[in-house]
Chain A
Amino acid sequence: MNRFNKSLIPSLLTLLLAAASVVAQPETPARVIEISAKKFEFTPNVVTLKKDEPVTIHFTSTDRAHGLLVKEFKIDLDADVGKPADVTVTPHEAGSFAAICDHYCGSGHGNMKMTFVVE
């Protein structure tokens, strides 16, 4: 009995380690899209995404508070100098979608926008 148990120990350990590795295996990280804002423009001003692919938007500002709003994807971020913001989203609809700065930043604010293209 003892001998039988001892012979099983390496196999059990292997199984446990294998199971642990499955549990601990991190999910594939979402592709990160960097978007930077300054008065009165986003860089880049066109971003192409793939339908049903999760992406993380990393939003930064180089001058003052700005917003990044895309209602269709529920992206609503605010960034200020030294205060970036992130969100992970998965677009499920193909097309072109406008993103705007929704944090008033001065006289050119009304035309501060960019485009998300989902293919």
Chain B
Amino acid sequence: MAKPFDRRSFMRLSAASLGAGALLRFMPFGSTANGMTLGNLLGSRNGEAPGPFSIVQLSDTHVGFQGPPDPLGTKAFERAVDAVNALNPQPDLILFTGDLTHDSEDPAEHAKRFAAFKAISGRLRVKKQMHVPGEHDAALDGGTLFREHFGETHYSFDHRGVHFVALDNVSAGKPIVGAEQIAWLKKDLARFPKTAPIVVFTHRPLFDLKPEWEWFTSDGDEVMNVLAPYDAVTVLYGHIHRLNHSTIGKSQHYAARSLIFAFPEPPAASTAEKKPLPFDKTQPFRNLGIREITGNSTRHTLSVNDVELTSRELSGTEGVQQILKTGDFL
């Protein structure tokens, strides 16, 4: 059973997106005053600046997706795996925030895509990997295949003083968490004091980011009401294929980039068409970058710094022809 938290166990959170996801570093109060800088992060890859606790978030790998607008197949996912494997020290755990696979009407084909996802994610040196489903994984079959591969679609666990909650807002077929899961969440959190650091990871945003593009959860308000009394809530999600940081009450919400085509900043018009960003052959991994998030040690808030990488190793600035030579697309 998890030990209750007190204020002293608060974590300071800093994070950096690898473009392929987000690297989050949790640092106990009283450690380095300025938190993890970008230099620290890059240095840490050479073993120069180890952090006490970090996690990586990867999202929207869509294994099985083929064709335009992005011909890369699983190449970005594989590159992300290599990048994470090169981190030193290694993160404690990997969070996958949904759309691990691209759906298929044929359950056997979809099962193959789950197997292909596991073959690639199995190359990660970090073996503690936690998953939530996206609608492409679980909306057509109510989460049956997902459960066969990864277990329940919602659950919680504790890790080094942080309480992690996985929420499923896809497998009902609609963007909804549902009364049963909300009741479970309330019960799950009841044992913690209001100062407990909580990380929620889910697929869709829990607030109305762009409902006309289905970037919302219909009962997200009810979920946020349950989380509202807690002082240090961070929500990590995917689905929107682009970076986003929003503050809802006291909670901080971060979307990770996808590992397949990206979406643009949505226009304000309700009827604006939802179209992915065009694929750039000269920069096939153009949307890779580092997002650094440093915690405020007195207010428990996070500051975000997005940095676009120029490193060939992470940014993939070589042309698509070079990437094509490295293997077959799905």
Q: Which residues of A contact B (CB under 8 A)?
A: 65, 67, 69, 71-72, 76, 78, 95-98, 100, 102-104, 106-107, 109-111, 113, 115
Contacts and interface: CB of A to CB of B under 8 A. Distances in A.
Q: How large is the interface on B (under 10, 10 to 19, 20 to 34, 35 or more residues)?
A: 20 to 34
A103 to B, nearest CB: 5
B211 A69 contact: yes
A86 B32 CA distance: 60
B214 A110 contact: yes
Interface of B: 102-103, 105, 135, 139-140, 170, 173-175, 208, 211-214, 218, 269-272, 274
Contact of B103 (A69, A76, A100, A106): A106
B177 to A, nearest CB: 14
A107 B214 contact: no
A72 B25 CA distance: 40
Contact of A106 (B140, B208, B269, B270): B140
B140 A113 contact: no
A103 B140 CA distance: 10
Contacts of A96: 269-271
Given A98-B270, A104-B139, A110-B213, 11 more contacts: A71-B211, A71-B212, A97-B270, A98-B212, A98-B272, A100-B213, A100-B214, A102-B175, A104-B173, A104-B174, A113-B212
Given A76-B218, A98-B212, A104 B170 contact: yes
13 contacts: A65-B173, A71-B208, A71-B212, A96-B270, A97-B271, A98-B270, A98-B271, A100-B211, A102-B174, A102-B175, A104-B174, A106-B105, A110-B214
A71 B73 CA distance: 34
Contact of A67 (B135, B174, B269, B272): B174
A100 B140 contact: no
B174 A110 contact: no
